[in-house]
Structure 1
Amino acid sequence: MTLAARLMRALTDPDCAPDHGRPDMAQVSDEELGDLLVAAHDVNAPATHAMRTARFAIGEAVGERQPRYTPDACRRMFEVLAARCEERGWADLTLGLDALEHCTGPRPDVSEPARALVGFWLEKDTVRQPYTLLAVAGLAGDGTLRAAVERLSDDVGPIVADEMAVIARLTPAEQTLLSAIDRDDRFESPLAHAWHGAADIPEYAAFARRALEAAADRTDAIRAGEIPYRADKAFTDREVTSLGQALRVALLRDEPWLPELFERLLPGVALAPTAARTLPSQALLYEVVRAAQSFPTPELATAIRTVRRTVRHAGVPRQLDKMLKKIDAALAERTEVALRLPRLDFDDEGVLRRPAGDHRAVVTVTEIATLTWEKDGRPLRGVPAAVRRDHTALVKELRDLVKRVNAQLATLLRALEGGFVLDTTHPYGRWRTELADHPLARTLVRRLIWEIEVAPDEWRTVLPETDEHLPEAPDDTPIRLWHPLRSDPETVRTWRNLLTERRIRQPFKQAFREIYLLTPAEERTRVHSNRFAAHLVHYRRMFALFRARGWTSRLLGPWDDGDGDEAERTLAAGEWRVRFHHTWSDRAGDDELASTGRVRFDRRVDGAWREAPLSDVPPLVFSEAMRDVDLFVGVTSIAADPDWTDGGPERAYWERAGFGELNESAVTRRDALERLLPRLKIADRCTLDGRFLLVRGDLRTYKIHLLSANILMEPDDSYLCIVPAGHRRGDPKLYLPFEDDRLSLILSKAFLLAADADITDESILTQIKRGA
C-alpha cells in the first residue's frame, strides 16, 4: 500500500492503527496531497491518534509545497467547505479558490456549493473574508454576486462600497489574487508576494487612490466643521481595514502622489479640530503606521514623526515610538526607496543655519547631525540664555530636526549594509546626486568603498573620501558597495592600510568586515552548521539583538512550549531564510541564560521554504547571515561578562570560552590592532601574542583576550576583573577604523594597565598586588 493510501485510510477509518515514525511526504505526489487535504478537512468523527498524525504530516507538507487538485477534488473541496459552514459556523473559503487555481483538468461546476457558502455568510451579522466571498459569489452566478455586493456594502461607509463594486467587476483570476490579501482583522498582514499581486491590478490601484483621497477629504471636512467631530468615529471599522489595504498597495507601487496626501491625511486623523486630546481616528492612524511597517517610504516615516510631535493624546506618542522602530528596520530592507533622503534646507556641505535674535543656530552633519550655537561667528558652548528664553519653539524644532536627521542617516546605513546580501547595484547618475553629493548622505557615503562597472564584469574600485573628483561614467552605469569577500587578501590589506593611514572611520565595517566561508566540518554536516553551537548566552540581551538585526523569534522562558525556538531572518529579497536554534537554559540570579544550537538555511521554491545544503547558499548570503549569528553569540556570551562569578557548568564554560580560540570578529579585531598599536603612545608597552594583547605595566604584565576582553595577569594567569566605563562613541582621542565596542574596551583596558602604577581604584589594585 502506498503512503498516500495509508494516510487516506488513517483519515477515513477510525480503526486504523497509526504508522510508526514520521511519514516521508516526498513519496506523496502534489495531486495526491490535494486529495489528502480535502479528506483531512472532511473528518467529522472524533480524531484518533492515526488521524492526528496524518493531518499533521499533511499540514506540514502543504506548508512546504503547493498541492494540486483533480476536478473531482476541487468539487469535493467546495462541498466540504459548505458542510463545515453548516456544522461549525465557519470555513476558510480561500481553500476552495486555491483548489480551482491549481486544478489539473477542466474546472468543475461548483456553483451549487458556492451558492450555499455565500448564502450562509450573508445571513451572518459579521462577514469575514469579503474579497474571497465575492470571488466565490462570482462562481455562483450574477444574481448571487449582486446580492453579495449589496450586503457587503451595507452600512460600512462609501469607501468600502466603492471597493466592493470594484472587486465585483474584476476577472475571477484577479479576484483570486485579491483574496490573498483578505484579512480577518487589521492586525494581521499577509506575505509580501500577495500584496505584489494586488498592486498589479490596475482597477484596484485606481481604487486605492480614490479611497485615500476620499479619506483625506473627509478629515479636511471634519477640520472645517462641515462634518461634526466625534472622537474615533471618522471612519467605520471596515473602512479602516480597506484603507489599510489601499495604502499598502499604493506604498508598494511607490505612488508619486502619496507625499502630498500624507500632509493632509496624517494630521487629519491625529488631531481633533478642537482642543480635545482625542483623535478623529486613532484606529486609522495606527493602521497607517502598520502599513508603513509593511512597505515603508522615507516620506511616510517623516510624516508619522511629524504627527508624533503634535498629537495631544498622552499614550499615542509612546505607541508611535515603538512602531517607528519597526518602520526604520523595515525601511532598511526596502533599498529601492530608503536611499531617498530629503535635503531639509541644508547647503551642499551639510550645514543648516538659522537666526535666533543676536545668535545663530548651526546644524552640521558629519558622522551624525549636531546642533551648536554661535554669536558674531564665534562658537558657543551651550544654548545661550537669551535663545532659551525668547526662541523656545526654534530650539525644540532644531533638536527634533537633529533627531530626525540622525534617524534617517541610521536608516540609510541599514539600507546600504542590507544591500550586501542582495548584491544591490545603483545607477551611477542617481548614486551621485542622491548619495555622494547629497548634503546629508555624502559624509557617510564618501567614507565607503564602491565599485563601478566600467566594462562587463570589470569593476573599478573607488573611495570618494580620498578621490578629489568622482570618475566620469554614464548615468546608467552600475555601482555597488565593495565587499571583501569578492576581493583577494592583498587587496583587502591595501584598503585596510589606507583607511588606517588616512584615519578614515567607516560608518559600518566594510574593509575590516568579517567574512565567513564554508568549513570542511560544514561540508560534512551538509545541511546545518555547528559553528556557533554549545554557547551559553544572556538570553534577554540576545533576544533584543534579534529584534535590532531584523530577526524574528518567540520569547522563551520557563513555561509550556517556551523551552526552544529558531530565530529567523529572510535574506536576498525573500529568496533565502536563515534559522538559528537556541534553547532557554536556566536562571542565574535575575538573569536568564540560553544555549545556542545549529544554523540552517532554506530556499524559497514555488512559494514554499525548502531546506538547502549549505554549499548551495550564495557566498554573500552565507557570510552575512553567519556574521549576524557570530554577533549574537560574541556579544551576549557569558564568557564576555567580567562579573561572572557563578559556579557549576556555567563557570566551566566561562573559563573555557572566555580565553578560548578567536572567532572571525576577534580575528578582524586583531588585524585592526596590528595597524593601530604603532600609532598609540603606549605602543612600546603592547605586543600581540596569539589570542591576546600583552600589556606591560609597572606592576605586572597583562594578557587581554581579543574576543572576550577578559584579562589574565602574569606570571600565574590569575584573573583580573575590571568593569570600565570605556571610551565614548566618536571620541576624537581614539581613532578606530570602524565602530566596535569590544575593540574600544580592549584599548581602554590597555591604556589603564599600561599605567597601572597610577591606578587608584582599590578594587583593581588589590587584585594586582595580591600576586605581584
Structure 2
Amino acid sequence: MHLSPLAQRLLNLLTGTANDPTYWPDASRLSVGFVGLGGSPIPDGDGIPVPVRYALGEPARQVLVAPARELVGRLLEDGRRSDDPVLVVVAAGLAGMDAEVRARFAGERGPIAVAELDVLLGWDVERRSLFWEAVRPDGPPPPGLADWLGGLPGYPEFARTALETAAARVAAIQAGEIPYEAEKAFGSGEKAAIGRAVRLALRRDEPWLPGLLDTLVRGVAVAPTGAGTLPSQAVLFEIARAAEEHPTPEVVSALRAAGRATRHAGVPRQLARMLKRVEPALADRLEVAFRLPDGPVRQAVGEHTAVISADDEVELSWWHGDRKLKTVPVAVTREHPEEVGRLRELVKRTRQRATLVRALEAGCAGTSAPPYRLLEGHPITDRLIWEFEVSPGVWRAELGLTVPDVPVRLWHPARARAEEVRAWREVVRGEELRQPFKQAFREVYLLTPAEEASGVSSHRFAEQVVRYRRLRALFKERGWTSAFLGAWDGAELDGDARRVMAGGRWRARLSHHLYDEDHAITGEVGFDRLVEGGWRAAPLTDVPAPVFSEAMRDVDLFVAASGPSITARLQA
C-alpha cells in the first residue's frame, strides 16, 4: 500500500531523500519543505518567538495531522524504520501520537534510550526534527553538534543521568548483581544515546565525568567471569570515537587502562589505533591539555614523600627523608591505598606530556589566543617565546610569561621579520634553552609570488611520487585524515587529506592520487575557511601566515619522509 502524496513528502523530508537544502540548526528540512503550507515564528524554550523564516504555523500543522498519522502507522509496521525511533517521534509530534509511540518504544528500547526519547517528547516538532537531522545514522554529524545539544532543554541533565545509569549497571554486572552475558550490557538504542551523552560531557569538560568514565570504561572492557568476552564492545568503541572528537587527558587514561585490562585479543589493538588519533586531537583542546603536569611533582603521603620526575623517563619514586626507597612503603600501601592509586594514575598522565607539547605547538597556528594564562607557573613557559598585546594591535615578544593582565599568544616566526627571527635564535642558542618543541628554529614557509597569483591552490609540492602506506602513516601522525585509496570496487583512486587547524576555523587540504599499488602522487594544497557552519575554499592570500606555514611544513615532511628510496629512484 502506497503512502498518500503528503505522507510520502513528509517521509522524504525526514529521511533526506527529498534532497532539500539544510539550514541546520536555524530551521529544519521539515519546516523548509512545507513552507508553502504557511508559517509563523518558532517559539524558543522561554516562549519567545524566534524570527525564523521557515516555520510551520498552526494551519500547516493541522493539514499535516492526517498524513503524519498515516506515516507513523507505516513506520511502526516497517521493522527497519522503527529502528530509528527519533524519526518516528518527529512524525508523532505532528500526528498527536506521542503517548502511543512512547508506549511502543518503552517495551522495545533500553531504559537509557527510552529516557532520551522522554526528553525529545518534551520538545516541539521543530526541535525534534533538528535533533533527527543532527543524529541521523546515514550521515556525519554536523559541526558544533555537542555545543548545540548542550543548549537543548533537559539534554545536559539527561546526559549526566544516562552516564550515571550506565556506570551503575556495569558496576552491578562486575559485582555479580546482574547476570553476565557477553555484549548484552546495554539494550537497543542505548549505545547511540550513551555516545551522545559522552560527547556532550566531554565537550563541556564536566567535572563529574572522569570518575564516571573510569567506572564505565573499565566495566565494559572486561568480563567478570574471566572470559575473553566483553560486557559491551560497542559502547567501549563508541566512547573511544567520542574521545577522538572531544578528548581529555582523563578519557585517554581510562581507555589505556581498558586496553590493558581486557582479555579480548583484538580490542587492545583497535584501541591503540584509535588512541593514535585521540592524542593528536587533544592538542587542539588547549584548555584541557594544560591539565597535564610538566616537571617534577612532590606529594607528602604520611611520613613519606612521593616524587614524580619527568626529565627523560617518567618515574614514581618514594622517599623517607633524604633516602630513596626501592619500593612503595608497606605503611603507605596499607594506610593510603587511594592516594597510591591517584599517584600511579598521575604517572600515566605525565607520560602524556608529549600531548601538552603538541597542544602548545598547535597553538602557534591559532587565530585566537587559547587560555595560556592557565600555564602560569609551569616551568615549560620559561623556555618559550610569547607575544603580549601591550597596546591595541601592537605585540611585543618576551621570553616566558612575564607580562600580566594583557592578551598573550605564542610567538611564531612566520609572523616575524627575518632580523627578529635571527635575534631570537641567538637568544635561545646563547642561553642554551631546550625548547619543548622547535619554535625559534622552526622551519618557515611563506607565500610565494606564484602562489599569490594562483588563487586558491599551491603546487609547491605537487607531482611528487611517494610511498603510499608511509604517507598514510604520516597523515595519522600529524593529525590529517583521509580515505584509504585503492583499485577495488567502491574505492577511490584519488582524494584529499585534510587537517583542521586554528581552533577549527581553518582546514588544509592535500590532494593525492594512487599511481600504482604501492605509490601515490601528490597534488595541490588548498585551504578552507569555516563560514556559517560550512567549509568554503579561501584564497591563499587570506590564509593566516602561521596556518599556511604549519600546513606546508607538514606537506614538506610528507614528501620528504615518504619519497621512494635512493635504490628505487636509481632503478627507475
Equivalent residue, structure 2, for 1:749? none
Distance in 2, Cα, partners of 1:378 & 1:502: 34
In the alignment, does 2:131 pair up with 1:178? yes
Alignment deviations for residues 44-99 of structure 1 (CA, whole Å, 9 cap, x no partner): xxxxxxxxxxxxxx89x98999999898952799xxxxxxxxxxxxxxxxxxxxxx
Equivalent residue, structure 2, for 1:132? 87
Equivalent residue, structure 2, for 1:620? 546
Q: Who wins on radius of gyration, i.e. which is larger?
A: 1
* C-alpha spacing 1:579/1:471, structure 2 compared with 1 (3 Å): closer
In the alignment, does 2:552 pair up with 1:607? no
Is the Cα–Cα contact under 8 Å of residues 35 and 54 in structure 2 kept in the other structure? no
Question: What is the CA distance between 1:584 and its match in structure 2?
Answer: 1.6
1:533 pairs, out of 450, 462, 468, with 462
Distance in 2, Cα, partners of 1:630 & 1:339: 29
Is the Cα–Cα contact under 8 Å of residues 448 and 506 in structure 1 kept in the other structure? yes
In the alignment, does 2:357 pair up with 1:409? no
Equivalent residue, structure 2, for 1:730? none
Distance in 2, Cα, partners of 1:341 & 1:492: 30
Give the alignment of 1:90-489 within 5 angstroms.
103=54, 108=60, 109-126=63-80, 127-140=82-95, 142=96, 144-184=97-137, 190-341=141-292, 349-350=296-297, 363-366=308-311, 369=314, 404-405=348-349, 407-427=351-371, 429-432=373-376, 436-437=377-378, 442=379, 444-464=380-400, 471=402, 473-474=404-405, 477-489=406-418
Question: What is the CA distance between 1:304 and its match in structure 2?
Answer: 1.9
Equivalent residue, structure 1, for 2:567? 643
Equivalent residue, structure 2, for 1:716? none
Aligned length: 528
Question: What is the CA distance between 1:492 and its match in structure 2?
Answer: 0.9
Question: What is the CA distance between 1:427 and its match in structure 2?
Answer: 4.7
**SS, match of residue 598 in structure 1:** strand
Question: What is the CA distance between 1:245 and its match in structure 2?
Answer: 1.4
Distance in 2, Cα, partners of 1:64 & 1:513: 41
Is the Cα–Cα contact under 8 Å of residues 428 and 478 in structure 1 kept in the other structure? no
* C-alpha spacing 1:585/1:131, structure 2 compared with 1 (3 Å): same
Equivalent residue, structure 2, for 1:632? 558
Question: What is the CA distance between 1:138 and its match in structure 2?
Answer: 0.9
Question: What is the CA distance between 1:338 and its match in structure 2?
Answer: 1.8
Is the Cα–Cα contact under 8 Å of residues 425 and 440 in structure 2 kept in the other structure? yes
* C-alpha spacing 1:472/1:75, structure 2 compared with 1 (3 Å): closer
The one-letter code sitting in structure 2 at the alignment partner of 1:452 is F
Is the Cα–Cα contact under 8 Å of residues 87 and 132 in structure 2 kept in the other structure? yes
Distance in 1, Cα, partners of 2:255 & 2:17: 44
* Structure 1 unaligned regions, length at least 5: 1-35, 43-57, 78-99, 385-396, 465-469, 649-772
Question: What is the CA distance between 1:510 and its match in structure 2?
Answer: 1.0
Alignment deviations for residues 422-471 of structure 1 (CA, whole Å, 9 cap, x no partner): 23424565221xxx43xxxx3x443221223344334343323xxxxx63
Give the alignment of 1:560-579 within 5 angstroms.
561-579=491-509
Alignment deviations for residues 388-437 of structure 1 (CA, whole Å, 9 cap, x no partner): xxxxxxxxx999879834652121122222223323424565221xxx43
Distance in 2, Cα, partners of 1:70 & 1:262: 37
* C-alpha spacing 1:253/1:375, structure 2 compared with 1 (3 Å): closer
**SS, match of residue 554 in structure 2:** helix
Equivalent residue, structure 2, for 1:706? none
The one-letter code sitting in structure 1 at the alignment partner of 2:546 is L
Equivalent residue, structure 2, for 1:517? 446
Question: What is the CA distance between 1:204 and its match in structure 2?
Answer: 0.9
* C-alpha spacing 1:283/1:549, structure 2 compared with 1 (3 Å): same
Question: What is the CA distance between 1:37 and its match in structure 2?
Answer: 10
Distance in 1, Cα, partners of 2:30 & 2:228: 59
1:584 pairs, out of 514, 520, 533, with 514
Cα RMSD between the aligned structures? 4.0
Is the Cα–Cα contact under 8 Å of residues 272 and 280 in structure 1 kept in the other structure? yes
Question: What is the CA distance between 1:483 and its match in structure 2?
Answer: 0.9
* C-alpha spacing 1:102/1:214, structure 2 compared with 1 (3 Å): same
Equivalent residue, structure 1, for 2:5? none
The one-letter code sitting in structure 2 at the alignment partner of 1:513 is R
Is the Cα–Cα contact under 8 Å of residues 537 and 593 in structure 1 kept in the other structure? yes
Is the Cα–Cα contact under 8 Å of residues 75 and 110 in structure 1 kept in the other structure? no
Is the Cα–Cα contact under 8 Å of residues 569 and 579 in structure 1 kept in the other structure? yes
Is the Cα–Cα contact under 8 Å of residues 602 and 609 in structure 1 kept in the other structure? yes
Question: What is the CA distance between 1:368 and its match in structure 2?
Answer: 5.3
* C-alpha spacing 1:398/1:431, structure 2 compared with 1 (3 Å): closer
Is the Cα–Cα contact under 8 Å of residues 27 and 54 in structure 2 kept in the other structure? no
Distance in 1, Cα, partners of 2:13 & 2:121: 29
The one-letter code sitting in structure 2 at the alignment partner of 1:195 is A
Is the Cα–Cα contact under 8 Å of residues 182 and 231 in structure 2 kept in the other structure? yes
Distance in 1, Cα, partners of 2:31 & 2:140: 31
Distance in 1, Cα, partners of 2:92 & 2:445: 54
Give the alignment of 1:622-771 within 5 angstroms.
622-638=548-564, 641-648=565-572
Is the Cα–Cα contact under 8 Å of residues 556 and 563 in structure 1 kept in the other structure? yes
* C-alpha spacing 1:216/1:401, structure 2 compared with 1 (3 Å): closer
Structure of higher RCO (CA pairs closer than 8 Å, 6+ residues apart): 2
The one-letter code sitting in structure 1 at the alignment partner of 2:409 is R
Equivalent residue, structure 2, for 1:47? none
Distance in 1, Cα, partners of 2:24 & 2:408: 37
* C-alpha spacing 1:559/1:500, structure 2 compared with 1 (3 Å): same
* Structure 2 unaligned regions, length at least 5: 1-11, 38-50, 328-340
Alignment deviations for residues 210-256 of structure 1 (CA, whole Å, 9 cap, x no partner): 11111122223223333222232221131122111111112122211
Equivalent residue, structure 2, for 1:712? none
* C-alpha spacing 1:542/1:453, structure 2 compared with 1 (3 Å): same
Is the Cα–Cα contact under 8 Å of residues 371 and 398 in structure 1 kept in the other structure? no
Distance in 2, Cα, partners of 1:552 & 1:168: 37
Is the Cα–Cα contact under 8 Å of residues 213 and 261 in structure 1 kept in the other structure? yes
Question: What is the CA distance between 1:208 and its match in structure 2?
Answer: 0.9
Is the Cα–Cα contact under 8 Å of residues 449 and 463 in structure 1 kept in the other structure? yes
Distance in 1, Cα, partners of 2:55 & 2:208: 43
